Copies of this chain bind each other. A is one copy, B any other.
Amino acid sequence: MSYLGVGASPGNVPVYHETSLKVVDRRVRLAELVLRFVICGLGVLTAVLVGTDTQVREIFTIQKKAKFTDMKALVFLVIANGIAASYSLIQALRCVVSMVRGSVLFSKPLAWAIFSGDQVMAYVTLAAVAAAAQSAVIAKLGQPELQWMKICGMYEKFCNQVGEGIVSALLVSIGMVALSVISAFGLFRLYNGSNKGKSNSGW
């Protein structure tokens, strides 16, 4: 008797199919969980990097201080990333609870809410990082045609730290876009699975 023979039996094919789907589901759930925690961490990192960034320079006995509130785009970036971090933490905890309980998400309204939430967060974080990047480009290169001088020669440490914050914020928005795709997949599976007797749309 051969093990290969078991796999070839027509009766076993759906079992094999269902098992492979469950493996894929488990991997997708794990990827979602890791991604949500990473986004939470990076969101906090962005908010801390940008929010605590200051530099004092002395020019002819006059002290000048650069801080993130000088640029409205950076304030928006800190707020957006703070919201994204909180949202991701709540969603990550939901993932942990459902994984520990082994429960399965069958509620279409909830799946739609998660998909919509991920989409809104992706749009908000992307808009914030685009606005901040635009300000950062002006600060770094200046806009001589408009007499907006570059300030990064003067506040080098301040600019570098903002730059690190923007890179981190960019990773947050890319992560949110990836999560939107994952939650779209989850929603499709749910619609797909509900017509098969809710057998293998387990997440």
Contact = CB atoms under 8 A, between A and B. Distances in A.
Interface of A: 66, 70-73, 115, 119, 122-123, 126-135, 137-139, 143, 145-149, 151, 177, 180, 184, 187-188, 191-192, 195-196
Contacts of A184: 115, 184, 187
Given A122-B123, A130-B128, A71 B146 contact: yes
Give the number of times this chain occurs in the complex, counting copies: 2
B131 A139 contact: no
Top-6 shortest CB links A-B: A195-B195, A127-B130, A70-B145, A131-B134, A130-B130, A148-B148
A148 B149 CA distance: 7
Contacts of A132: 134
A128 B123 CA distance: 12
Contacts of A135: 134, 138
Contacts of A122: 123
Contact of A192 (B143, B146, B195): B195
A87 to B, nearest CB: 18
Contacts of A66: 145
Given A123-B123, A146-B148, 4 more contacts: A123-B126, A126-B130, A131-B134, A132-B134
Nearest to A151: B146
A137 B76 CA distance: 13
5 contacts: A131-B133, A138-B138, A148-B149, A184-B187, A187-B188
A138 B127 contact: no
Contacts of A145: 66, 70
Determine which residue in A129, A138, A187 has the highest number of CB atoms from chain B within 10 A of its CB, and name it: A138
